[in-house]
Chain A
C-alpha cells in the first residue's frame, strides 16, 4: 500500500504567504458606519445636560483667586481636588 504523501512543506509556506498578502490591508473598516454624519455623531458624544449639572457651580480653577474672593466675601472655600482634574478628566 502506497503511503499517503504529505504536502511538501514549501507548498504550505507559499500558501501561507499568498493568504497573508491577500488579506493584509483588506481589513474591514471598523465601525465606519456613523462617520458619514459628523454633526450627528458629535451630538451623541457631547456630554448630556444631566451629565453637566456640576458645571452649574461657578468653579474657580485658581486657588489664590479663590482665597482672595473668600476673604473679600467672608465665605469658606470648597475645594474639589482629584487626581486628574475633576473639570477636565472623567
Chain B
C-alpha cells in the first residue's frame, strides 16, 4: 500500500505519520495505551477479547477518529485517507487541535522497549532465495502460485554493552585462535533471527529446538588500530528431532566479519550472513515454498540507526527470554 506514490505524498505532506506495534499498544496500561485504545475503540475493530486492533487509523491529535481501514488495495486506502483528510479540514479548529497534549507520564515498563544503553542495534534481513544457472544464490524472481514473501523481511538484533565487550577478549588472542561466540549471543541469533519471517510474524525457536549451534570467532588480523575477527559456524533449528522429520526447520552455515576499533573502543563493522535450507511454515506465516528451499539471513551493525531502526526486535516481546536472563 505504501508503495503507492499518492498515498506516500499524502502521508508525508498532509499527515503526521507514525507506525506502531499493536501487540504492545493494545496491552500497555499507561497514558499511551489508554489513548490508543480510546481512539481505536471508535472504530469497528474494538479489540474485543483483547484481540488485534491492527490497521490504518487517521485521527486528530486529541484522539478523534477520522477513518479506519485495514485493506491492502491502494485504491481503497487512497480514498479512505483522502476522505479522512477532507473530514479533518472541514472541522472547526477547536475540534482539530487540542489546547494541550496531556503529560504522558511513566511508560508501562512491561510494554516499553528501548535499545540497551551502550549496546548495539543490528539490522536483520531475511530473504527467500533460489539459484541461478551459474549456481549462485539470487533473489527469487517469482514464486509459485500460492506462495508468498518475495521481499526482504526486516528485524533488529540488540546486543548489550557487556555482550559487545565479550566479543573482544583481552589480551587479544593470537592470529588464528578460535573461540566460541558467547552463549547468550549465539543462542539469541539462533532462536530469534535465523527464522523465516518473510510472510509474517514467525514462531521463534525454543531452546530445545536449537539442535546445533556452533558459532566461533577466529582472530584474523590484529594491528595497533583494529582487531578483525572472522565468524563461522553452523546452526540447525528444527521443531522436532530428528530434524529430517521435523515439520519446520532451518539448517544454515554462517560466515562473517567483525571489526573492532581499538582507539574508539567499539565495533565499526559487524557483517554476518547465514545461508541454508529451510522448510515448513509457522502459525501466522502460511504460504511457504513446498519442501526445502534456500533461505538467507544478513545481520549487520547499524552505525547510525534511523528512527525506524529503533523498533524493538520481534523477539523482545519477552525481554527476559530474548536476552537469555
> Residues of A at under 8 Å CB distance from B?
29-36, 38-39, 41-42, 44-48, 50-51, 53-71, 73-90
B253 touches A32 (CB 8 A): yes
A78 touches B11 (CB 8 A): yes
Pairs across A and B, CB under 8 Å, 18 listed: A35-B275, A45-B298, A46-B298, A54-B8, A61-B18, A61-B310, A67-B101, A71-B98, A75-B88, A76-B96, A78-B15, A83-B21, A84-B200, A86-B19, A88-B21, A90-B154, A90-B198, A90-B201
B152 touches A80 (CB 8 A): no
Partner of A89, one of B10, B56, B155, B297: B155
B200 touches A90 (CB 8 A): yes
Which residues of chain B are near A57, meaning CB under 8 Å?
2, 8, 11-12, 17
A83 to chain B, nearest CB (A): 5
Q: Please report the C-alpha to C-alpha distance between residue A44 and residue B139 in the assembled complex, in whole angstroms.
A: 7
A31-B137, A42-B271 known; A47 and B152 CB under 8 Å? Answer: yes
Most buried by B among A47, A56, A76: A76
Say yes or no for B296: interface residue by CB 8 A criterion.
yes
A87 touches B201 (CB 8 A): no
Say yes or no for B222: interface residue by CB 8 A criterion.
no
Which residues of chain B are near A54, meaning CB under 8 Å?
2-3, 8
Interface size range on B against A: 35 or more
A58 to chain B, nearest CB (A): 7
Name which of B57-65, B167-175, B181-189, B260-268 contacts chain A.
B57-65
A20 to chain B, nearest CB (A): 12
Which residues of chain B are near A51, meaning CB under 8 Å?
151-152
- Could you count the A-B residue pairs with CB atoms below 8 Å apart for me: how many are there? 249
Partner of A79, one of B57, B96, B234, B273: B57
> Residues of B at under 8 Å CB distance from A?
2-3, 8, 10-12, 14-23, 25, 31-32, 35-36, 40, 52-62, 66, 81, 84-85, 88, 93, 96-98, 101, 104, 125-127, 129, 135-139, 149, 151-156, 197-201, 234, 251-257, 271-273, 275-277, 294, 296-298, 300, 307-308, 310-314
Q: Please report the C-alpha to C-alpha distance between residue A63 and residue B313 in the assembled complex, in whole angstroms.
A: 19
Which residues of chain B are near A42, meaning CB under 8 Å?
271, 273, 298, 300
Add 13 more A-B contacts to A38-B256, A79-B19, A83-B22 (CB < 8 A): A31-B137, A31-B275, A34-B296, A38-B255, A45-B152, A53-B8, A59-B18, A59-B308, A68-B61, A76-B88, A78-B84, A81-B54, A88-B155
